[in-house]
Structure 1
Amino acid sequence: MTGRPAGGLVTLGETMGLVAADGIGPLEYARGFSFGIGGAESNVAVGVARLDGRATWIGRVGADATGDLVARRLAAEGVDTVAVRDPGFTGLMVRHRRSGGALHVDYHRAGSAGSRLAPADVPDAVVAAAGVLHVTGITPALSDSARDAVRHAVRVARAAGVPVSVDVNHRAKLWDRATAAPVLRELVEQADIVFAGPAEARLVLGGAGQPAGQPAAELARALAALGPAEAVVKDGANGCTAVIDGDRHDLPAVAVTVVDPVGAGDAFVAGYLTARLAGASPAERLRTAIAVGAYAVTVPGDCEGLPRRAELDAFLSTPDDDVAR
């Protein structure tokens, strides 16, 4: 760790290598690839760090070149990194765009180093000194030990009075709805802040018992009724709806040309939590979240397009300008 002051964002989860095919079409015909890193929790940490916030990421990486890349890249972004070295391999995800609107992501992570995250890997003192602990519904899906690590971190945070942020982030390729729902609901019930898409909110609230057309405001209020003081429903091009301390907030999306939608939700969360840590009002937190999410989708990659503070300020001032002079 770099010894930066405590009090910022602390998060934990798996960060993988990301193999992305260039162009559009079947993977078998791709001739060019880029290699980077990606992971919901580390995306949020990078987003916070780029906006001049303090961020710490906790996870396991393999004793391999990809693990080295993860540790170096996060450190280069200014993220304090607690990277436990594991004899296993660092997970990979392979992404290609089959057609203009069809993005496919395959995971190669079963038995990976990141999936072996355990409670002993979580430094209690780091969590207890955080300004906010952020976890997602992805890590509990990886293994029993990873699920226990998340639960342990949440217990430590709550005992220390640290706010807990949960992004539901349901991944159907990792676990089925019936298995995921009670675990995700348990996390939400212990959270101070919750983020969910409409379908994720319905899953947490009871799955088939929630009508598909239920308004976002109703979903946000129902999530808040489970315990979180701040419930935010992220709805892509429709913007977001939140219930924060009992008050409803609705913000439209910012119109941008979408190049890569992957990581938009993580960018949104990073913007919101950065503003919250800075003491911003609920309206300003959501405005920042919408802007960071919009900015991120204009660039390929999981975290490459996340804005720095000066870029975000310029975007908020003149979001419609396409030439910087």
Structure 2
Amino acid sequence: MDVVTIGETMTLFTPNEEGPLRHARSFSMKFGGAESNVAIGLSRLGYKSRWISRLGEDEFGEAMLSFIRGEGVDVSFVTRDSEAPTGVFFKEFRRMNDTRVYYYRKHSAASKMSAELLPEEAIKDAAYLHITGITPALGQSSRSIIDKAIRIAKDNSTRIVFDPNLRLKIWSNENEARHYLTKYASECDIVMPGVAEAEFLFGTHTPEQYVDYFHDLGVNTVLMKLGKEGSLISAPSIPKTYVPGFLVERVVDPVGAGDAFAAGVLSGLLDGFSLNEAVRRGNAMGAMVTMVNGDAEGLPNRADLDLFMNGCKEDVKR
């Protein structure tokens, strides 16, 4: 197995017209979740990915499992809950460059994921374990499965990748969020923060200073996402280096760009690319998904990715 990821995916309802959600009368049903987005992104590029989660025994859960399995992702360790529902969320396209998200996930089946539901064989054969800050935000039970996953990964020399993916709405308070996000970052090999997440954790500083703060936590490799400007990367054998982003003429839906970035980076590392080239692929995939409505819909296959990277100008030269 190339990559294993753990987390909640929810049924996504997207209005068929722009404007405040209160005026929407028709919706399209899709599925969205950071971890499953990464798994799907890798699968579309030809890698073996496994998504671990918990779904309700309801029609939303059935549809979601069918969709993710249909994308070629291994779902053999997904469990079902007869007493808790599959989570739901809504997107709102108020106007250009103003997308908002509303979650209805309290007491969902995924929030009841726990360590005893995670067997060692689910992770021990993986090259990478991908986790985000969303799952531990769901509560102590969900934190226990992440803690166990990290232990299994370390015992089996599986490299751990962490995307803080800050969602303040689902943490009890800001202090709790800072505590656990820094804790999990310190336990991982590669961390992929955005500038806003780094500012939340460390205050207002430059991207270079944020990278140093993560290294001070014990993080080996830091891949700082800078939006349209690309990324700032740093590792023990690599000085701080800016990797330019790709020019996007019109952003349709920015949600899921960070997940696509993670999938692109991991795919590059699995291909044996240098860190710089792996992050360049991640930047390209992040740019591509912003041009399509939906969390996973814009994730490319390999042919589309190569065409985009060969034909699109990079946005920033440093």
Q: TM-score, length-normalised on structure 2?
A: 0.94
Give the partner amino acid of 1:178: N
1:249 to 229, 241, 245: 241
User: Residues 96-125 of structure 1: CA distance to partner in whole angstroms, max 9, x if unpaired?
Assistant: 112223211111100000111111222211
Q: Which residue of 1 aligns with 2:79?
A: 84
1:323 equivalent in structure 2: none
Provide the rounded CA distance (Å) in 2 between the counterparts of 1:245 and 1:178.
Answer: 30
Q: Distance in 2 between matches of 1:300 and 1:122?
A: 33
Tell me, in whole angstroms, the C-alpha distance in 1 between the residues paired with 2:261 and 2:64: 22
Q: Does 1:100 align with 2:96?
A: yes
Look up the match of 1:289: 282
After TM superposition, the runs of 4+ consecutive aligned structure 1 residues lying more than 6 A away are none
Q: How does 1:13-32 map to 2 (within 5 A)?
A: 13-32=7-26
Aligned partners of 2:216 and 2:266: how far apart in 1?
A: 21
- 2:190/2:222 contact within 8 Å kept: yes
Q: Give the Cα–Cα distance (whole angstroms) in 2 for the partners of residues 119 and 230 of structure 1.
A: 27
- Does residue 132 of the first structure (1) align with residue 128 of the second (2)? yes
> Aligned partners of 2:265, 2:232: CA distance in 1, in Å?
13
1:40-51 matches, cutoff 5 A: 40-51=34-45
Cα distance in 2, alignment partners of residues 234 and 60 from structure 1: 29
- Identify the residue that residue 224 of structure 1 maps to in structure 2: 215
Shift of 1:137: 0.3
Scaled by the length of structure 1, what TM-score is found? Answer: 0.92
Give the count of matched residue pairs.
Answer: 308
CA distance in 2, matches of 1:58, 1:94: 23
- Contact map agreement 1:229 1:246 (CA 8 A) in 2: no
CA distance in 2, matches of 1:164, 1:99: 37
CA shift, 1:246, in A, is 4.2
Distance 1:58 1:244 in 2: 29
Sequence identity (%): 38
Bigger mean CA offset, 248-257 vs 263-272? 248-257
Structure 2, unaligned runs of 5 or more: 314-318
In the alignment, the residues of structure 2 paired with residue 220 and residue 11 of structure 1 have an alpha-carbon distance, to the nearest angstrom, of 24
User: Is the CA contact 2:21–2:92 (under 8 Å) kept in the aligned structure 1?
Assistant: yes
In 2, Cα distance between equivalents of 1:249 and 1:124: 37
Q: Residue 79 of structure 2: SS of its match in structure 1? A: strand
Q: Which residue does 2:187 correspond to in 1? A: 190
Question: The residue matched to 2:17 in structure 1 has which SS?
Answer: strand
Deviations 1:221-279, CA, capped at 9 Å, x for gaps? 22123122210111112211010234222012211121110000110011001111221
Question: Contact 1:217–1:242 (CA<8 Å) still a contact in 2?
Answer: no
Q: 1:262 aligns to what?
A: 255
Answering whether residue 268 of structure 2 is matched by residue 271 of structure 1, we say no
- Mapped to 2, the partners of 1:121 and 1:237 lie a distance apart of 39
C-alpha RMSD of matched pairs (Å): 1.2
In the alignment, is the contact (CA less than 8 A) between 1:119 and 1:145 conserved in 2?
A: yes
Choose the corresponding residue for 1:112, options 101, 108, 112: 108
Counterpart Cα distance in 2 of 1:232 and 1:217: 11
1:58 paired with 2:52, answer yes
CA distance in 2, matches of 1:229, 1:83: 31
